[in-house]
Structures are given as C-alpha cells and as structure tokens.
Amino acid sequence: EVQLLQSGGDVVQPGGSLRLSCAASGFNFNDYAMTWVRQAPGEGLEWVSSISHDSEKTYYADSVKGRFSVSRDNSKNTTYLQMSSLGVDDAAIYYCAKRHTNNVAVPGNFFDSWGQGALVTVSS
C-alpha cells in the first residue's frame, strides 16, 4: 500500500522559512517523480512544485519560484519542500503527491496518491 507521511507543518512569521517533509513507502520511491500541491483554507488546489525521480529536473509555479526549493533523498524515500520568504498568501495545507507512472517516456504528470497534508500558517 502506498503511504505518504508528511511532517513539518507549523506556524511561521511573515518572512520566515520552513521545511516540509514527505516520507514514502509501499512503492519504489526511486522511480517516481513527486509533487507538492497546496490548498489555502476554503480554496482550490494549486500546483506548487515537482521533482523528477532522479532530481535532475525541478519545476516551480511562478508564485513560489525563487523562494521555494524542492529536493529528495532517495536513500531515505523522502522528498522535501524548503520554503523561504513566506507571506500570508503561502498559508495553506501542503500536500505531497506521487506521479501516476514511473515511465518517463509517458508525458504528463497527474497524481494517484496523496499525503495527509501539512498545515502551514503564516502569522505574526
């Protein structure tokens, strides 16, 4: 069974930093791209960042580019989202999600498994 266990959510002051973690089990983590999606309270889903299975490629939404950094440690089956210069607009539940396929020749990126979410609150 695929499991994505998230940690790191917290209350942070505006301008502060935070690192989220997502520990995976139940599948060959090394083979799958991973993604972060966020959801502000009462709002929709917003794609934030993705990282390829081998860390060679990273992608960011314009709203977080230059402030957030995605990484992964395949030896620990864990992906991370390092967030800095946080503002009130970054307050949300952050989900990690697993790409639907490990086949890099197949285009596209949608998500068949999701973590439980980590709440990030930005407040002074």
Partner 1 sequence: DIQMTQSPSSLSASIGDRVTFSCRASQGIYNYLAWYQQKPGQIPKLLIYAASTLHSGVPSRFRGSGSGTDFSLTISSLQPEDFATYFCQKYDTVPWTFGQGTKLEI
On the 0-12 / 13-18 / 19+ scale of CB atoms within 10 A, 69 is middle
For partner 1, which residue of 8, 67, 114, 121 counts as binding (CB under 8 A)?
Answer: 114
CA distances from 62 to 25, 32, 36 (A): 30, 23, 14
Q: How far is the CB of 36 from partner 1 (least distance, A)?
A: 11
Q: CB under 8 A: which stretch of 13-21, 22-30, 78-86, 101-109 binds partner 1?
A: 101-109
117 binds partner 1 (CB under 8 A): yes
Which residue lies nearer to partner 1 by CB, 73 or 112? 112
